[in-house]
Chains A and B, each alone.
Chain A
Amino acid sequence: MQPILKIILSRLMMGLLTLLIVTVVIFSAVELLPGDIATETLGQSATPETLAAFRSKFNLDQPVHVRYGLWLAGAVQGDFGVSLSNQRPIAELIQSRAGNTFFLAGYAAAIAVPLAILLGLVAALYRNSAFDRMISGTTLVAISFPEFFVAYILILIFSVTLGWFPSLADVDGSAPLPERLYRTFLPALTMTLIVMAHMMRMTRAAIINLLASPYIEMAELKGIKRWRVIAVHALPNAMAPIITVVALNLAYLIVGVVLVEVVFVYPGLGQLLVDAVSNRDVTVVQAACLIFAATYILLNMAADILSIIANPKLLHPR
């Protein structure tokens, strides 16, 4: 077998193993809950018969490992059980909201990634210029400012003062795409501003690292234009670190979305998670956490694997 395939397969297995352990951790969260779920849901006045019926309905009379197996098997098929607070199936609650969340994260990524790489290239091209220093400055701002601060500044400018965009993004999947893009522009912009700085800095650093290498000097001596040296000669070799940082930031985006959704009252998974935590609706929290954690782990794994693929040294072993 090719060694690179072996590495990728082992990373894949590691990722899936991590995911499996994380499901165990998330599942045990409910086990740690003090008190008996059946008595808590049905109230103190419930007869022993109704309690027994409730337990057998939700498999609470089974041993822990059997319940874990049932829960995992259900989760894989998209069935997360029922909400503790209103007895509705969680899959129903989650389906459209997860779609909304991924839509928003994808929207932000579609703006942030190309913009960050482009600006990073420009910063590398004109390093130590005013533009370059400005980019270094924005990184500090981006890691220091809480998401909601950025969000409220944007609302104040673009929604309240200028009136260009709505401050509430209460739009769901049924709206036509242009309207959806328009109404979710401010939340997407907030997340773009937060994740862009890091990607920009890494792009710039990766390119500048390469600029000292002899083959770049050779290209420059041949009289190739500077932007061409950077875009055609340096960029392909800088791809591995850039891809890694992009994937890591996408993983961050998935988590950062929770706060942004709450600010803009966007009907997404993050909003649902926060509501469920304040109602202490554990089964819903479990399902939402599982989706967030799985996305995060898969994106991190993708970052790992892509950076291996993008590294030409591993593609052609001696």
Chain B
Amino acid sequence: MYYWLSQLREAPVSAWIGIVLIGFFSILAIFAPLIAPFPEIAVVGPQYHAWAAPHYLGTDGLGRDVMSRLIFGARNTVGIALATTILAFLLGGITGLLAATLGGWFDMISSRIVDILMAIPSLIFALMILTITGTSVLSLILVIAVLDSTRVYRLSRAVAQDILTMDYIEVARMRGEGLPWLIRREVLPNAAAPLIAEFGLRFCFVFLFISALSFLGLGLQPPTADWGSMVRESAKLISFANFSTWQTATFGLAPLLPAGAIALLTVAVNLVVDWVLHISSGLKE
């Protein structure tokens, strides 16, 4: 903990930008009902209200306040992406560690299943499964978590296999330590840094994936506020954009706001991941 705090003081500007942005989005997500000026799904004004008080970012096609929906969108999209990533990590991480430590048939079978899952592009696979299960939040989380856990499995298995050849593992085994002890006390602490960086990258991937599905109309369903579906709903407006006046210029910006929020958060996480990778690789400038 102390180590990370001391590293934080020396963190480059890019990492700080990332941390501040992530903090900003987290506050929006956690305190959404307190910050948002209007409710998430209530019609509060005329359709397509211009960017003026009290709707500072206008209203959408149903008269809902765009700024409030962006704030609630942070909560919904990021929350679901986070839950999916955690699930994918638990699933992929545990099976990967087990495959490396147990070896044998368990390793064989799980590796072949992962090979097959990874042979199909994940967007295509997800679309196929969602056709069967229908698009509910739960099936969305489960499908993406399973598809994404394959990468976590590969990484944690590779990292653990590297660690398992070390002498201290041999010593622990000769001491007669059991499997849970080996994983928890010897493997996990040494595998933490690459796994943390991977968590950031996976989160970005899942987040973009869910946004893409929502944009296609197959992710989070209305009236839930969500950045991907907000892009989809306001996409038509872009052809009415005209930069001669401020009023018409906002039409062009309507789909760019939620899309930009997605991009900004992903950039922020990537900046932090770059920094974590840099520290854990032990490289100095």
Question: Are A and B physically bound partners?
Answer: yes
Interface size class of A (residues with CB under 8 A): 35 or more
The answer to whether A26 touches B128 (Cβ under 8 A) is yes
Q: In the complex, A276 Cα to B215 Cα: how many Å?
A: 15
The answer to whether A274 touches B217 (Cβ under 8 A) is yes
The answer to whether B216 touches A29 (Cβ under 8 A) is no
Query: Provided the pairs A140-B270, A152-B255, A160-B239 are in contact, do residues A276 and B131 lie with their beta carbons within 8 angstroms?
Result: yes
Query: Provided the pairs A149-B256, A274-B216 are in contact, do residues A167 and B204 lie with their beta carbons within 8 angstroms?
Result: no
A263 in the interface (beta carbon within 8 A):
yes
Query: Provided the pairs A255-B123, A289-B127 are in contact, do residues A152 and B218 lie with their beta carbons within 8 angstroms?
Result: no
The answer to whether B259 touches A277 (Cβ under 8 A) is no
- Total interface residues on B, CB under 8 Å, equals 42
Main secondary structure of the interface of B (DSSP, over half): helix
The answer to whether A22 touches B120 (Cβ under 8 A) is yes
Q: List 26 A-B contacts (CB under 8 A).
A: A22-B116, A25-B116, A29-B132, A32-B132, A143-B270, A144-B263, A146-B259, A146-B262, A146-B263, A148-B235, A149-B262, A152-B255, A160-B241, A167-B239, A255-B121, A258-B123, A258-B127, A273-B124, A274-B216, A274-B217, A277-B131, A277-B216, A281-B131, A289-B125, A289-B127, A292-B121
Q: In the complex, A8 Cα to B263 Cα: how many Å?
A: 41
Instruction: Name the distance in Å between B228's Cβ and chain A's nearest Cβ.
Output: 8
The answer to whether B259 touches A280 (Cβ under 8 A) is no
Instruction: Name the distance in Å between B240's Cβ and chain A's nearest Cβ.
Output: 9
The answer to whether A29 touches B131 (Cβ under 8 A) is yes
B23 in the interface (beta carbon within 8 A):
no
The answer to whether B235 touches A259 (Cβ under 8 A) is no
List chain B residues, Cβ under 8 A from A293.
119-121, 124-125
* Minimal Cβ-Cβ distance residue in A for B269: A144
A266 in the interface (beta carbon within 8 A):
no
Q: In the complex, A282 Cα to B231 Cα: how many Å?
A: 27
The answer to whether A144 touches B259 (Cβ under 8 A) is no
Instruction: Name the distance in Å between A318's Cβ and chain B's nearest Cβ.
Output: 29
Query: Provided the pairs A149-B259, A277-B130, A280-B134 are in contact, do residues A144 and B215 lie with their beta carbons within 8 angstroms?
Result: no
The 8 closest A-B pairs by CB, nearest first: A149-B259, A144-B266, A255-B121, A144-B267, A145-B263, A292-B124, A285-B131, A160-B241
Per-position binary interface string of chain B over residues 21-45, scored 1 when its CB falls under 8 Å from any chain A CB and 0 otherwise: 0000000000000000000000000
B243 in the interface (beta carbon within 8 A):
yes
The answer to whether A153 touches B131 (Cβ under 8 A) is no
List chain B residues, Cβ under 8 A from A274.
127, 216-218
Q: In the complex, A296 Cα to B116 Cα: how many Å?
A: 13
B252 in the interface (beta carbon within 8 A):
yes
The answer to whether B116 touches A29 (Cβ under 8 A) is no
B195 in the interface (beta carbon within 8 A):
no
List chain A residues, Cβ under 8 A from B121.
251, 254-255, 292-293, 296
Q: In the complex, A140 Cα to B120 Cα: how many Å?
A: 25
The answer to whether B116 touches A289 (Cβ under 8 A) is no
Instruction: Name the distance in Å between B70's Cβ and chain A's nearest Cβ.
Output: 15
A18 in the interface (beta carbon within 8 A):
yes
The answer to whether A277 touches B218 (Cβ under 8 A) is yes
- Among candidates A22, A147, A156, residue contacting B119 with C-beta atoms closer than 8 Å: A22
